[in-house]
A and B are shown apart, each in its own frame.
Chain A
Amino acid sequence: MYYLKNKTLCLQALLPALAMLIFYIRDNSVATTENLVITTAACLLFIAVPLASRKFIKNIDGYILPLICFLCSMSLIMMLRLKMSLFHAQFRWIVIGMILMFLTIYFSEKLLRLLDYPYILGLCSIIVIGSVIIFGTEIGGGLNWIVIGPFQMQPAEFSKLLILGFLASYLQENQNMLNLPNRHWGFLYLPPLRFFAPLVVIWGIALLIFVYQRNLGFALLFFGMAMMMTYAVTSNKSYIFLAVVFFIIASFFSYMVFAHVRVRVIIWLNPWADPMGQAYQIVQSLFALGYGGLFGTGFFQGSPEIIPIVHTDFIFSAIGEEFGLIGVLAVIMTYLLIFFRSIKIAFSCTNEKYKLLSFGIAGTMLLQSFIILAGDTKLIPLTGITLPFISYGGSSMLSEFMAMGLLLAISAKENYRARQ
């Protein structure tokens, strides 16, 4: 393998150590036993996990895990810089996530068998999303959280996986029906309504619940996911056209009805109308990115902490300020490389459901990072959603790791089959 020869494997693990060293030189009091232990553990973990996975899981994809470790170490050093207490918490979530990922790989046979029951997956996802309405607590203007003892979790993150499984298995089973256009409405070629009714119903309910919870980011993500997967299965542009029409109508409707959507759009159109009030966050984010320039201000030299909730939604701006355009490009490149490897896995699959599922996982990750990056840089109106593997957040970390676990399990399986 090339990457072992070139010693790349150590580089992602060097980041936390270097960051800790910089922090220590600036402020001696930071060198408590706890911090040092966590930093050492993080370094070892980021080396050990890719190595161990290659050693113990046969035929696994060798590049995805180091890339994920790189993103996690970026996340850790940004937490270290932004909020010390979150550094510990984030490390804990990463460890739990990695354990969960290996468990997912271990039990993948059983989990992937669930793909034979699309409606169960669909109903489960609705129940998971809907549970928030009953048990949820409102935090930060959106009803997305369930509080159990000391933990808060966002069930929507986990429903993402369920709905991906539903879409993959449903679309694959009805692939021929959906590809059978026997209704012509003008230039649209559509199958009879009854074939895509279950899809529309389950997906529509999910979307409505998100709108009710004011979780616009997830509504957008789910919409994109369904459109992407349907097009991937049918390669029928009529679906894209319908989706775009629906999107325009729905966004216009929500703009008229919901005050918070209107506020977001107004901020997006002209943040300078109210830079110290409602648009404070996005304006500070733009300042941070601009101040970073090409090489960034340097670690600990910028002041990204003045952006409100910088550790989840706006972590990208913090990276942009401290590491500049180069750091930002590195992060975006890493997402693209993960996407590239995942698509390679998807192409090699012979089982159509696995193929769709791995494409869905990869596409969702990329779409999610696009939505939040575009929101941070004011390309589209901001919708609060986490940046995969970098933002602080237990639920998002765990669900991303589980998705990657499924992807890696599929890759191991397909490679094994190919070698036979």
Chain B
Amino acid sequence: MTIKILITALEYALLFCICAFVYKTMRAMYFDIREKAYSKNEAHAEKKVALLILQSYDERLLNKRILFSDMLTLGRGPDNDIVLSDAYVSHHHAVISPIKNQYQIEDLHSRNRTYVNETELDNKIFLQNEDIIKIGTTIFRFER
């Protein structure tokens, strides 16, 4: 009788081992992938986006690539990240800020407006890859 119980118990132990192995492996793989996915996200956030200058008042700025990853301010004032000494640009013209995985451009009530893809920017908008931004006489292309 005891032997019978023992055998049954061992049989269930065997089945349990099989299930536990598959479960644990799946769990480990899941955590492994999750960890990797999150670390990749951080890497993605660190990865820089760029503004490529397509057209400008200054010949020397042409085809320059400006890499950045956090907030970037544009305007005529010397405290901006990108100083555009162009008569059509306001002192604090526009700002590009990262929001989660995306980048948002906001017009700071500039006199001559900011244009994204030929349309007038109404307050703020999320930037997509290859968007054309026009500030004063300078034209940028947003790249990510």
Partner-A contacts on B (CB < 8 A):
3, 6-8, 10-15, 17-22, 24-29, 31-32
**A18 nearest in chain B by CB position:** B14
- Determine the main DSSP class of B at the interface with A: helix
16 new A-B contacts, CB < 8 A, other than A3-B28, A66-B25, A323-B15, are A1-B32, A2-B27, A11-B24, A14-B17, A18-B10, A19-B14, A21-B10, A22-B14, A25-B7, A70-B22, A299-B14, A300-B7, A301-B11, A326-B15, A330-B18, A330-B22
Output the least CB separation between A2 and chain B (Å): 4
With the chains together, A113 CA to B83 CA distance in Å? Answer: 55
> How far, in angstroms, from A14 to B22 measured CA to CA in the complex?
13
If A12-B21, A25-B3, A330-B19 touch, whether A298 touches B28 (CB-CB below 8 Å) is no
Nearest-neighbour CB distance to chain B for A326, whole angstroms, equals: 6
Contact status B17-A8, CB under 8 Å: no
The reply to whether the CB of A334 lies closer than 8 angstroms to some CB of chain B is yes
A63 B25 Cβ-Cβ under 8 A: yes
Chain B residues closer than 8 Å to A21, beta-carbon distance: 10
Interface residue A136 (Cβ < 8 Å from any Cβ of B): no
Partner of B15, one of A2, A300, A327, A333: A327
What are 29 A-B contacts defined by CB distance under 8 Å?
Answer: A1-B28, A2-B32, A3-B24, A3-B28, A6-B28, A8-B24, A8-B28, A15-B14, A15-B18, A21-B10, A22-B10, A25-B6, A67-B25, A70-B22, A77-B14, A296-B15, A298-B7, A298-B11, A300-B11, A301-B11, A323-B14, A323-B15, A323-B18, A326-B18, A326-B19, A327-B18, A337-B22, A337-B26, A337-B29
Min C-beta distance of A390 to chain B, whole Å: 13
Residue among A2, A14, A77, A340 facing the most chain B CB atoms (10 A cut-off): A2
CA distance A298 to B11 in the complex (A): 6
| Chain A neighbourhood of B26, CB < 8 A | 333, 337
Question: From residue 268 to 290 of chain A, which have CB atoms closer than 8 A to chain B?
Answer: none
**Interface membership of A117, Cβ < 8 A:** no
| 4 nearest A-B residue pairs (beta carbon) | A8-B24, A3-B28, A298-B11, A2-B28
In the bound assembly, the distance between CA atoms of A63 and B31 in angstroms comes to: 13
A419 touches B (CB below 8 Å): no
Q: Smallest Cβ distance from B34 to chain A, in angstroms?
A: 10
Contacts A2-B31, A12-B21, A337-B26 given; does A25 touch B10 at CB 8 Å:
yes
What is the distance, in angstroms, from B133's C-beta to the closest C-beta of chain A?
Answer: 34
Please, which residue of chain B has its CB at the minimum distance from the CB of A12? B21
- A334 touching B22 in the complex, CB below 8 Å, given contacts A14-B17, A25-B3, A326-B15: yes
Residues on B with beta carbons closer than 8 Å to the beta carbon of A63: 25, 28-29, 32
Against B, the Cβ 8 Å flags (1 = close, 0 = not) of A38-71 are 0000000000000000000000000100110010
A11 in complex: contacting residue of B6, B12, B21, CB < 8 Å: B21
Q: Which residues of chain A are near B18, meaning CB under 8 Å? A: 15, 74, 323, 326-327, 330
Instruction: Convert A298-324 into 0s and 1s, putting 1 for each residue whose CB lies closer than 8 angstroms to a CB of B.
Output: 111100000000000000000000011
The smallest beta-carbon distance between B24 and chain A, in angstroms, is 4
Judge if A295 is at the interface, Cβ distance under 8 Å.
yes
The verdict on A299 contacting B11 (CB below 8 Å), with A15-B18, A326-B18 known, is yes
Q: Tell me whether B17 and A18 are in contact (CB under 8 A).
A: yes
Could you tell me the distance between the alpha carbons of A298 and B18 in the complex, rounded to whole angstroms? 13
In the complex, A14→B20 CA distance in Å?
A: 11
Does A110 belong to the interface (CB within 8 Å)? no
A26 in the interface (beta carbon within 8 A): yes
User: Which residues of the partner chain B approach A14 to less than 8 Å between Cβ atoms?
Assistant: 17
How far does the Cβ of A69 sit from chain B's closest Cβ, in whole Å?
Answer: 10
Are A3 and B25 within 8 A (Cβ)?
Answer: yes
